[in-house]
C-alpha cells in the first residue's frame, strides 16, 4: 500500500454501525438497471456510480475516500469516493460501484454489503451523473490501491463534518455555480459532488441520532 491517512474526530465507537446505517437509509430492495436509468435520464450527462464505503476500525466506524493523483486529466488531486463511469458489463449502479472499488483500492466485491442507493448527483464541470451506493465493508483489514488511480486511502470520521459545509462559488462556462466545501484537518479539502454526498449522509445521520449533532 502506498499510503493511508486517518482523519479523526470525536468518534463514539458505539454510535454508528451497519445496523444503524440500515435504519437511517432506504433499503436497497430494488436495484434499477442502467438501462432503466439511462432511458429515463438526461442524455447530456455521462453515467457513473461511486461506492460510499463504511467500515469498522479499532477506534470506531469510518467512511473511506480516496485522493486522486495530481496528474489525472479529470478530477486530478481531488478527494472522492471510489467509483467511475459505467462499462458494458455493468448491469446497475451497484455493479459499477463494486467493480470500480475493486479496481481502485483492491476491495473484493464479496466483502461489501450494499445498503442503499442514494439520489443521483451531478458534476456540472465534467458532466457526470453520479449514483452513490452506500455500503458496509466486512472482512478487509488492508487495501491495495492502484497507483494509477489512487494516491491515498483516507479513513474519515464523519463526526468531523460541520453541520453545514461552506458554500463557495465559481464561474464555469460563463455560468455561476455554487458547491459545498469541507476543509478538514491534515490538509483534507472535500468539495463538489463528494461533499454533497457527505452532506446528505451527515444530515440523515443527525436526524437519526447517529452523529454528535442534535437533529
* Residue 15 belongs to some domain of the structure: yes
User: Is residue 120 scored above 90 in pLDDT?
Assistant: yes
Domain assignment present for 212: no
Q: Which residues pair with 160 in a beta bridge?
A: none
Nearest to 166 by CA among 153, 184, 150: 184
Structure confidence at residue 207 (pLDDT): 83
Q: Highest mean pLDDT: which of 34-43, 63-72, 108-117?
A: 108-117
- The predicted-structure confidence for 141-196, as pLDDT tens digits, reads as follows 889 999 999 999 999 998 888 778 899 988 776 777 888 999 988 888 999 999 99
- Confidence at residue 38, expressed as pLDDT on a 0 to 100 scale: 85
CATH code for the domain in which residue 20 is found: 3.90.79.10
**Do 207 and 163 contact (CB within 8 A), yes or no?**
no
Instruction: Work out the burial of residue 2: count CB atoms within 10 Å of its CB; fewer than 13 is exposed, 13-18 middle, 19 or more buried.
Output: exposed
Q: Is residue 214 part of a domain?
A: no
Structural domain boundaries, residue 115 = 4-207
Segment 65-72 mean pLDDT: 86
Residue 81 is given by DSSP the state: -
pTM of the complete model: 0.89
Distances in whole angstroms, Cα of residue 176 to Cα of each of 25, 137, 161: 32, 38, 26
Rounded to whole angstroms, how far apart are CA atoms 16 and 124? 32
User: Where on the phi/psi map is residue 154: left (φ > 0), alpha (ψ -120 to 50), or beta?
Assistant: beta
pLDDT at res. 57: 85
pLDDT at 50 over 70: yes
More confident residue, 176 or 97: 97
Residue 8 counted as domain residue: yes
* Domains identified in the chain, total number: 1
Give the pLDDT score at 215. 33
Amino acid at each position: 500500500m502506498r499510503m493511508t491517512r486517518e482523519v479523526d474526530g470525536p468518534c463514539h465507537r458505539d454510535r454508528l454501525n451497519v445496523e444503524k446505517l440500515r435504519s437511517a437509509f432506504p433499503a436497497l430492495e430494488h436495484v434499477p438497471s442502467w438501462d432503466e436509468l439511462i432511458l429515463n435520464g438526461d442524455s447530456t450527462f455521462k453515467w457513473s456510480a461511486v461506492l460510499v464505503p463504511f467500515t469498522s476500525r479499532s477506534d470506531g466506524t469510518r467512511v473511506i475516500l480516496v485522493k486522486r493523483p495530481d496528474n489525472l486529466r479529470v478530477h486530478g488531486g481531488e478527494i472522492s469516493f471510489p467509483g467511475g463511469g459505467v462499462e458494458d458489463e455493468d448491469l446497475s449502479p451497484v455493479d459499477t460501484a463494486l467493480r470500480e472499488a475493486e479496481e481502485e483500492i483492491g476491495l473484493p466485491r464479496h466483502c461489501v454489503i450494499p445498503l442503499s442507493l442514494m439520489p443521483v448527483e451531478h458534476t456540472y464541470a465534467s458532466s457526470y451523473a453520479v449514483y452513490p451506493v452506500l455500503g458496509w465493508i466486512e472482512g478487509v483489514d488492508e487495501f491495495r490501491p492502484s497507483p494509477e488511480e489512487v494516491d491515498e486511502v483516507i479513513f474519515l470520521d464523519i463526526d468531523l463534518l460541520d453541520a453545514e459545509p461552506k458554500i463557495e462559488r465559481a464561474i464555469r462556462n460563463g455560468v455561476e455555480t455554487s458547491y459545498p466545501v469541507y476543509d478538514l484537518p491534515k490538509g483534507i479539502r472535500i468539495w463538489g459532488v463528494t461533499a454533497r454526498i457527505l452532506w446528505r449522509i451527515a444530515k440523515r445521520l443527525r436526524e437519526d441520532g447517529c452523529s454528535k449533532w442534535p437533529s
